[in-house]
Amino acid sequence: MKVIKIDKNEWADGVEKLHDNYRLIGAVREKSYHIFATLKPGQKPEMEYVNSRISPKYVIYPQSEIILECSMDENDEDYKVYHEPGDKNYEEKAVLGVRPCDADSLPLVRRNFDTDEYKDPYWLQAFETTTLVGLACDAPCPSCFCTSAGSGPYNDQNLDIMLVDNGDHYLAEILTDKGEKLAGAAGWDKDTEQGAEDSIEKRKTGAESKITSKVNTDNLANQSLLDLYDATIIWEKAAFACINCGTCTYACPTCWCFDVQDEVHGRQSYRIRNWDSCMYPLFTHHASGHNPRGTKLDRLRQRFMHKLKYYVDKYEDGIQCTGCGRCVSLCPVNIDIRRICNMMNSYDPESCTCEVTAS
């Protein structure tokens, strides 16, 4: 790994140059919060923001995406014959200032879209053409718990470049070939002064110490799936409060479920992939009319069991959560994944009790 120094004025100039080769996506202020959006030439991404309201997963996995189309005009060759849209554009794009927790969500989501059996061409092409320029996170939210969820404020494993804010300049770890290429296109190549790696390490320790909130996950794999499933003490009160909206799942960087809909607009038909949510009554609603998750409790349980038990058992690589804290701060009825995770981890099926933490 190479570390270079990017003065902040060089950063701005470099970003401008990158417009020639990349579609640039960065954090911009939308009313009272930040979202990730395509930057216009001259527009700078905001770097000093507390994480974006909704995760940037939609850069690679849009909330609504046309995956196939056909004509509904019988004179056309593609009359009722679905094919990939001609205008699919997988141009090179770069996400500037993405946080490590969000970058760390991508390999988790990839597990759904890239298996030995099935390869999702849309997700994979979008992912492969994306360069992630992350910014190490020095100001975590009180609801962040990345350090106990397999991520961390300075986690660089899933970034192409990681920037560390060091006052008037960034220290930039060039982590992959994609990162190297982008740094080259931006003209960033200045050597660092001595001790750069030490300052990164020092800042990393400081950032990690600010994250005081955590989840306990060490016992999740040992727990019996059916015991957790039947643990009324975990589900009953949370399910009562839950209003079954999709806030948690839509804000989440790791939720991957989708629904496919056909829509006809004029003489054109579109097959659209939309994000789905396990909170919704139509989720897993069978054509027979039966829904194995027919109640609010079933749906709430599905969300947490998927992230914290089924996923844990299936992939044996931690939980399906990177601790970004969005669902914690946005849930309108304060269902806190940290509390639920700790309850699941500590559940004792003999006594039907569990540890209840404040958060």
Partner 1 sequence: MKSYTEKIKEISKGLLEEGKVDMVIGYRKGSVPLMHQPFFAQNQQEIDEFVWDSNCGLNLANYVTDRQEKIGILATGCNSRNIATHIVEGKIKREQLYIIGIPCKGMLDRHKLAAMADGPITTVEEDEEKGTVTISGDGFSETVDKTEALQQNCSICVHRNPVIYDELVADEVKEQTRDEVDPYAGVKEIEAMSPEEKWAHFDDLLSACIRCYACRNACPLCYCPLCFVDESKPQWVGKSIDPTDVRTFHFLRAYHCAGRCTDCGACVRACPVGINVRDFTKKLEKDCFELYGWEAGMSTEQRPPLDTYKPDDPEEFIK
- Rule CB under 8 A: say whether 277 interacts with partner 1: yes
Asked if 319 contacts 308 with a C-beta cutoff of 8 angstroms, the reply is: yes
Only segment of 154-162, 218-226, 270-278, 315-323 that touches partner 1 (CB under 8 A): 270-278
| Stretch touching partner 1 by CB under 8 A, among 81-89, 113-121, 125-133, 239-247 | 239-247
3-state secondary structure of 169: strand
The CB-of-211 to partner 1 minimum distance in angstroms stands at 12
Site string for partner 1, 87-126 (x = CB under 8 A): ----------------------------------------
Would you give the binding string for partner 1 spanning residues 136-175, x where CB under 8 A is met?
---x-xxx--------------------------------
| Chain residues 219-238 in contact with partner 1, contact rule CB under 8 A | 237
If one asks whether residue 274 binds partner 1 (CB under 8 A), the answer comes out as yes
Edge-to-edge strands of the sheet including 130-135?
Answer: 33-38, 23-30, 93-98, 130-135, 161-165, 169-174, 2-7, 190-191
Distances (CA, A) of 109 to 6, 51, 101, 103, 259: 31, 19, 13, 10, 16
Give the chain's length: 359
Question: Distance (Å, rounded) from C-alpha 343 to C-alpha 356?
Answer: 6
Contact call for residue 240 and partner 1 (CB under 8 A): yes
Assess 29 for contact with partner 1 (CB under 8 A). no
CA distance 211 to 36: 24
To partner 1, the closest distance from the beta carbon of 270 in angstroms equals: 9
Closest CB to partner 1 among 169 and 273? Answer: 273
Q: Does 247 bind partner 1 (CB under 8 A)?
A: yes
315 to 354: interface string for partner 1, x by CB under 8 A: -------------xxxxxxxxx-xx---------------
CB nearer to partner 1: give 68 or 272. Answer: 272
Residue type, 59: V
Tokens found for residue 252: 């989440």
Q: Which of residues 30-59 bind partner 1 (CB under 8 A)?
A: 30-33, 35, 50, 53-54
Query: What's the CA gap between 197 and 231, in Å, rounded?
Result: 47
In the complex with partner 1, the residue whose CB is nearer, 157 or 261, is 261
Please count the residues of this chain forming the interface with partner 1, following the rule CB under 8 A. Answer: 46
Minimum CB separation of residue 224 from partner 1 in Å reads 27
* Amino acid in position 320: Q
Residue partners of 299: CB distance under 8 A and separation at least 6: 242, 244, 278, 279, 280, 281, 283, 293
With binding defined as CB under 8 A, does residue 290 bind partner 1?
no
Strands 268-275 and 23-30: unpaired
Q: What amino acid is encoded at 167 in this protein? A: G
Taking each helix axis from N to C end, the angle separating 121-128 and 105-113, rounded to the nearest 10 degrees, works out to 150
Interacting residues toward partner 1 by CB under 8 A:
30-33, 35, 50, 53-54, 63-64, 139, 141-143, 237, 240-241, 243-247, 250-251, 259, 261, 263, 272, 274, 277, 280-282, 328-336, 338-339, 358-359
